[in-house]
Amino acid sequence: MEWRDDGLIIGARKHGETSVILEVMTREHGRHLGLVKGGRSKRMQPLLQPGNSVEVTWRARLEEHLGFYAVEATKLRTGDLMRKPAALHGLNLMTTLLRLLAEREPHGGLYERSMILIDGLDDPVSAPSQLVMFELAVLADCGFGVDLTECAATGSRDDLIYVSPKSSRAVSREAGEPYKDRLFRLPPFLRHGRANHISRDDLRDGFDLAGYFLSRNLFAPRGLGLPDAHDAYVAMLMKGD
């Protein structure tokens, strides 16, 4: 069997003395692993870093086999991202989230989001809000979407300012007022998309919201805590780094 696809490297681990098992988020084949012979060579190591875009050709005798990758780099960005601490935390968070996806299940929309996000991780203005929305997109693709379209209590689509931690749905101002201390605040940018200015408080609320559902639905069932990169990114954001 053989196929060729575009992909984003999200992980790599040593295999034997000279090879690497490469983990790639591909456009058509989802999160997919393959063995790269000679992947630990001085020539190959810089290419096989998380955050780099590649074209991969996968070959195996049977579909269920690990298979082998032939790799051609198409965009090397890891070095630039590593020079900016916030971008590096964002990269680590992004790749950790993508590794939660079931292997070999296509997620075309999430792949496209990944490419947009990673090319903007070094932009301090747009990257934080895009990263929050990426976290929510991963939740949705894993079957745990947060419904921000209408009030869980009344069905109203107006004045939605809270999110229920129980139902994962939006709640209107009126319906949520008696319970506001037990609800998440819904930052406006998650309802209305891009904004000219998003406050740090709104961004923090967005990360708190997404982080709660990520922890409850994806990490805790695996016996894991929320990634350190999540808290590190938010901490840097709050300090303005």
Domains and CATH numbers, the chain: 2-76 (2.40.50.140), 80-148+186-239 (no CATH)
Of the candidates 71, 81, 73, the residue with the CA atom closest to the CA atom of residue 119 = 81
- The string of DSSP letters for 49-71 reads STT-EEEEEEE-SSTTS--EEEE
Q: Among 101-115, 176-190, 194-208, which stretch is predicted with the lowest mean pLDDT?
A: 194-208
Q: Do 94 and 130 contact (CB within 8 A), yes or no?
A: no
Is 226's pLDDT higher than 80?
A: yes
pLDDT of residue 216: 98
Place of tokens 């749905």: 169
Q: Output the average pLDDT for the chain.
A: 95
pLDDT above 70 coverage of the chain, percent: 98
Taking only the tens place, the pLDDT of each residue in 112-163 is 999 999 999 999 999 999 999 999 999 999 999 999 999 999 999 999 999 9
Give residues with Cβ within 8 angstroms of 87, minimum separation 6. Answer: 80, 81, 121, 122, 127
Say how far apart CA 212 and CA 135 lie, in whole Å: 11
Residue 194: pLDDT band with limits 50, 70, 90: low
What is the pTM for the complete model shown? 0.94
Q: Is 239 a residue whose pLDDT tops 90?
A: no
Q: Which of 98, 14, 15 is nearest to 51 (CA)?
A: 98
Query: Which pLDDT does position 193 carry in this prediction?
Result: 67
First to last CA, the chain: 48
| pLDDT (0 to 100) of residue 133 | 96
**21, 2 in Cβ contact below 8 A?**
no
pLDDT above 60 (res 241):
no
pLDDT(33) > 80: yes
